[in-house]
A = this chain, B = another copy of it.
C-alpha cells in the first residue's frame, strides 16, 4: 500500500515512522530537501503543495494522497480529485479546515456551539464598526485562510484598529472572519479518526495550554470536567460525520461560562494529539494512515491514567543540543520526539510525552525533559 503526503514537516515525519512499521510505503511531497520528513524519507518528491505538476507526479506514484498541512489550493485538489485521484480528507471536507469562514458557515448550519461571528469578504467589504458594536469589544479578527500557530489572528480594542486590520487583510486578498472575544476559562481539544465508510474512533478530550496562540502543553485528562470532555468528544464525532472527514479530525474548543464553543478544526494529525504516540494503544498517526487507506482503525484506549505532552522550543540557553539531549534523557520515562530541525530560538523542535499513574508527576517529568532541551517555561503557565 502506498500513501502520498503533501508537505514534508514534522507531521509527515511522524507518519513515516508509523508507515514503516505497518509496511506502508509513504512518499513525501516536500518543498525543500531538508524539510523534517524529507531528510528521513526514502521516497521524496520536491515541489510545492500548490505545484500541480508535482501533485500529479505524486498521484502517479501512490494509491491515496493525504496532507501534512492545510496551505493547499483547494481548487487544484478538486480538479485532481475529479480526474480520479483519491485525496483523503477530500477537498470538499478540507475546505472547512483551510477556510475559517467555510468552517463557521458549515458548523453554523448545524447549530453547533461557536462564538458569535461575522464575515467581511473582499467582494463585500462592509465596515467592521457595526460588527464590533454587535459582537462587543475587544474583537477577534482572523484571516480566513493561511494562519496557524496564532498567526493570522488579531485581537483589537476599537473600530479604528479593527478597520486597519481588515483593510490590510483585504489588501492581501484575504477574506476576514470577525468573532466575539469569548472569556476563555479553559482550552481543550477533541480528536477523532474516521474511515470512508463512516467507522470512527475517538480519543478522550484533552486539556491544552496555549501561550500567544502556540500550544505549549497537553494534559490527559488534565483538569477537564468529565461532562464537558464527553460533550467535546461527541461534538468531534458529529463534525467528522457532518463534514465527511476521512482521517484525523482535531477540534479545538474553549470552555466559556461553563459551556463549550468550537474554535478551530484541523483535518490531519494535530499537536493536541501527539500524546497518543505514547499514551494510547494506537497513535493518531497510525490511525490517520489506517483511515486514509480504508483499513480497520486501531484501539484508542489509553495505556496509562495520565499523559502529558510538552512542546520543545529552541532557545539561546542551549549551545550544544547533543549535550542538552543527553540531559533530557536522564528523565527515564520521558519519550522524546524530535523533528530533526536545527535549533533556533523560538522554533518548535519536538515534543516530550510522559505517561503514568500520577498526573502531576507526568506533567513535571515532561517539563523537566523539555526544559533540559532549552524550552523556555512561559511565566503565564501554572507552576510545576
What residues make up the interface of A, taking CB atoms closer than 8 Å to B? 1, 13-14, 16-17, 20-23, 25, 38-42, 44, 281-282, 290, 295-299, 301, 303-304, 322, 325-326, 329-330, 332-340, 350, 355
Task: Give complex CA distance A336, B298 in Å.
Answer: 10
Residue of B nearest to A41 (CB): B42
Closest Cβ neighbor of A300 among chain B residues: B332
Q: How far is the CA of A326 from the CA of B334 in the complex (A)?
A: 33
Taken together as a complex, chains A and B put the C-alpha atoms of A202 and B166 apart, in Å, by: 61
Please indicate the chain B residues that have their CB under 8 angstroms from the CB of A326 in the complex.
295-296
The one of B21, B39, B299, B334 in contact with A42, judged by C-beta atoms closer than 8 angstroms, is B39
Q: How many copies does the complex hold?
A: 2
- Which residue among A281, A297, A322, A350 has the maximum number of chain B CB atoms within 10 Å of its CB? A281
Query: Which of A16, A332, A337, A339 has most chain B Cβ within 10 Å?
Result: A332
In the complex, what distance in Å separates the CA atom of A13 from the CA atom of B25? 13
Are the C-beta atoms of B301 and A333 separated by less than 8 Å? yes
Shortest A338–chain B CB gap in Å is 3
| Interchain CA distance A149-B334 in the complex, whole Å | 35
Q: Which residues of B contact A350 (CB under 8 A)?
A: 23
Residues on B with beta carbons closer than 8 Å to the beta carbon of A17: 17, 20-21
Interface centre among A1, A22, A25 (most CB of B within 10 A): A22
Q: Could you say which residues of chain B place their CB within 8 Å of the CB of A1?
A: 322, 325
